Structure 1
Amino acid sequence: MTDLNQTALQKGADRALEKIEIDTLVVGAGQAGVAMSEHLTKLGVPHLVLERNRIAEAWRTGRWDSLVANGPAWHDRFPGLEFEGLDPDAFASKEQVAAYFEAYAKQFNAPIRTGVEVKKVVRNAEGPGFTIETSEGVIQANRVVAATGPFQRPVIPPIAPKDDSITQIHSAQYFNPQQLPEGAVLVVGAGSSGVQIADELQRAGKNVYLSVGAHDRPPRAYRNRDFCWWLGVLGLWDAEAAQPGKEHVTIAVSGARGGHTVDFRGLAHQGVTLVGLTKAFNDGVVTFQADLAENIARGDENYLSLLDAADAYIARNGLDLPEEPEARATYPNPDCVTNPILELDLAKAGITSIIWATGYSVDYSWLKVNAFDERGKPKHQRGVSGEPGVYFLGLPWLSRRGSTFIWGVWHDAKHIADHIATQRKYLAYRDASQRSAKD
């Protein structure tokens, strides 16, 4: 298969994609696709990045208006560029994050083509590589990197009521309090998205019920260091496997309003009514699990365990960091915890809106290859698929706990790019040997 060099790709960026042949096709131009392109460029691997919308589109239109990054600017970035005009300890807005990825891609003239949707990828029946059908034509590629990440299809659980009188949206469709009708709101899900949205709605004057499931609750900062720093020095970002039973536990952390520790009792003190895990809806009545106190207690255990680990690290390494005994102080349990609400009549409670902060699922329906298990999940080792020539990037725990974070995906992309470059060297040796035999 003929390779196109980067210059040719750039010159041809505005023409139709018909009959293009390229070594590696990267699908998606978010943080994963941009990182992948950088490493492939450094290694001299001819490639093309296709994005159906704009670079980092999810940051632009798939998040609420006031969203900021959950990690400080010094941490949530690629190694080769800092956020321009932003304090390293500040939290970048979603617009700043999108602009950052655009600026980063320009640094190495990334061959990104936007406005092109990949519709189908199939392995060629005869000969190497894959045939890729796109909205702008057909591409032939030796390798395909699925860099579309984990946040592809918003998930609303089947328990959602079939009631047209109630506005129901996923957190991906929530932008600001003004879009909701008058009345109270039930926010289902207490990870970072659910907590921040519930807080924003309550501060805007809404009566808010927040359904709290199992979660981890790290401190935003402790003893003059952000929790991102603590997870780094304690080696937790580089953990290669989740603790049993915690593979899908959400993390409640916030960079909003300059960053603060999420405190569910504090939210209740503020005016948010906490309820347990949402169980079912029936005839206008929602029921909740009797697990609210247990979920909060386990979140507290996670919080305190990190404080303990940080204290031990400081003592062991003789660091001069200020003590922070107030970090262990808590509000008393509010009435909604000691006397939990187990069922709620939506109409009597005045609830007119439900926001489902219940996460996302992946969507690889376009990737018609043998790279998935019986549950439809990618089969891979550090992003290298069991199907030769297919790679995955940007997924949770791809190689470590930090794989879905900006810096983590950059390191995962490097590993995959190295794998691709190595395979190309083997093929080049084979081709050279064949030429020598002909001579």
Structure 2
Amino acid sequence: MTIETVDTLVVGAGQAGVAMSEHLGKLGVPHLVLERDRIAQRWRTGRWDSLVANGPVWHDRFPGMEFDDLDPDAFASKDRVADYFEAYAKQIDAPIRTGVDVKKVVRNSGRPGFTVETNRGVIEAQRVVVATGPFQRPIIPPIAPTSADLMQIHSADYRNPQQLPEGAVLVVGAGSSGVQIAEELMRAGKRVYLSVGPHDRPPRAYRNRDFCWWLGVLGLWDMETAVPGREHVTIAVSGARGGHTVDFRRLAHQGMTLVGLTKAFKDGVVSFETDLATNLANGDANYLSLLDAADAYIVRNGLDLPEEPEARTRVPDPECVTQPLLELDLREAGVSSIIWATGYANDYGWLQVNAFDEKGKPKHQRGVSAEPGVYFVGLPWLSRRGSSFIWGVWHDAKHVAGHIATQAQYLDYRDATQREHNKPGQSAPRIETQNAIGVL
């Protein structure tokens, strides 16, 4: 059996895999990118129909290509984002092979590199980059009811309101996905219950600047560690309908029923925590803290940006907040479906190397794994707060590619020395490290 060999194998051709290919190519590192579907397929089929990017196109892109058909302040549709990455891969001539599913990766014994089993044969690689991203296995928590009368789907499988049966909907999870889906369902005429947990709630824009700009100039995208205890707090922000600030109270005044964190299901009744008001208050505090930081930045730098006092106006608490619903009989309320916007878990069962901690999470430093020769790109907080965003992935990939190129140069130095030793009648000359591998 013929075994294909490659220096660096990248698994996944979404935004992380395309970014890795660009940087590896620029550094002259031979590589191959494997993708089991199409390029950026998750953007096409792992999202609901009306989804747009949560950042404007001037921000949510790679440096080497613009969305030339969109206004810089517009929010690209999911299909347009997928088209963008396909075009980008073509522009950089990325060596991407689609329709290849990686089944198993193991370290070779007694020799360098890894053996990679795929549905198209075996590949041996000196290095493996895991670029499969954070959205691998949808999580539906074990508290989910088992009733056959309820349609239950994860937000990854939601497409549009017409997909759901007649009746009310309970949306569990109020990050960007949950709140956008809940609002779409309400606008389609559905009675919606939205379970709101802890969240950050930045303004969509403030004083004529998008929140992506504010997080940039304030240095918040570059935060290297999350605030302790808030590592997994979701962000409620929306680019839908041209972009707007998420305001849970306004949604409630428009007809949505807010409830606290979903606690349990028993005999057709769902119970909720008493934390709704607290979660909303903490979201408000996060919102106001960004406004305060933005105002201070404007004064400090003498910027001429229009004041926006109405941004601090808060609508009154709706009845569902002042008198929170702690239990809901699903049948009596006419709830016929539940959408679980409860996030994702990683799935690395195919990566059988010593790169994970006792909880199964990757052990790495800025994407460089504890297992030599294995790398990760595209994960939240890989190096900074912005790591899982499009522009953040590109910069993280640049760092990882640089590490790979440096390691390859070390190996070249070893091989060159060996070749000098093998020359008849000659001794190997002394080679300065800086000349051999460059300034590190």
Whole-Å separation in 2 of the counterparts to 1:92 and 1:343: 39
Any conservation in 2 of the 1:18–1:139 contact (CA below 8 Å)?
no
Of 130, 141, 151, which residue of structure 1 is paired with 2:125? 141
Q: What is the Cα deviation at residue 126 of structure 1?
A: 2.3
- The whole-number CA distance in structure 2 between the counterparts of 1:194 and 1:423 is 43
For the aligned residues, what is the CA RMSD?
Answer: 0.7
Q: 1:36 — aligned with what?
A: 20
1:381 aligns with 2:350: no
Q: 1:65 aligns with which of 35, 38, 49?
A: 49
* Matched residue count: 423
SS of the equivalent of 1:196 reads helix
Deviation string, structure 1 residues 327-380 (Cα, Å, up to 9, x no partner): 011110000000000000000000000000000011111000000001100000
Q: Give the 3-state SS of the residue equivalent to 2:133 in structure 1.
A: coil
Instruction: Find the residue that maps to 1:23 and give its secondary structure.
Output: strand
CA contact (8 A) 1:121 1:130 kept: yes
Does 2:26 align with 1:24?
A: no
Q: 1:344 maps to which residue?
A: 328
The Cα shift of 1:108 comes to 1.4
Inter-partner Cα distance in structure 2 for 1:168 and 1:84: 40
Structure 1, residues 250-306: CA drift from partner, whole Å, max 9, x if none? 000000000000000011011110000000000000000000000000000000000
The 1-side partners of 2:406 and 2:163 are apart by 51
- Contact 1:24-1:142 within 8 A present in 2 as well: yes
Query: What is the CA–CA distance in structure 1 between the aligned matches of 2:257 and 2:403, rounded to whole Å?
Result: 51
1:18 shift after superposition? 4.9
* Paired residue type of 1:50: L
Aligned residue among 217, 238, 246 for 1:254: 238
Q: For residues 37-436 of structure 1, what are the structure 2 equivalents within 5 Å?
A: 37-436=21-420
Matched residue SS, 1:429? helix
Aligned to 2:428: none
3-state SS of the aligned residue for 1:181? coil
CA contact (8 A) 1:73 1:83 kept: yes
Structure 1: gaps spanning 5 or more residues: 1-16
In 2, are the aligned partners of 1:69 and 1:255 still within 8 Å (CA)? Answer: yes
2:207 maps to a residue whose letter is R
Query: For 2:126, what is the secondary structure of its paired residue?
Result: strand
> Contact 1:27 / 1:49 at 8 angstroms: preserved in 2?
yes
Structure 2 CA distance for aligned equivalents of residues 213 and 374 of structure 1: 27
Asked if 2 retains the 8 angstrom alpha-carbon contact of 1:219 and 1:261, the reply is yes
Supply the distance in 2 between the matched residues of 1:367 and 1:237 (Cα, whole angstroms).
30
Give, in whole Å, the separation in 2 of the partners of 1:18 and 1:87.
Answer: 50
Q: CA deviation at 1:438?
A: 1.0
Amino acid corresponding to residue 392 of structure 1 in structure 2 = F
Say whether the 8 Å CA contact 1:18–1:136 is kept in structure 2.
Answer: no
TM-score by length of 1: 0.96
Q: Write the distance in 2 (CA, Å) between the matches of 1:108 and 1:274.
A: 47
* TM-score after normalising by structure 2: 0.96
Q: Which letter does structure 1 place at the counterpart of 2:231?
A: E
Instruction: Compute the displacement of 1:84 (Å).
Output: 2.4
Gaps of 5+ in 2: 424-440
Distance in 1 (alpha carbons) for counterparts of 2:250 and 2:35: 41
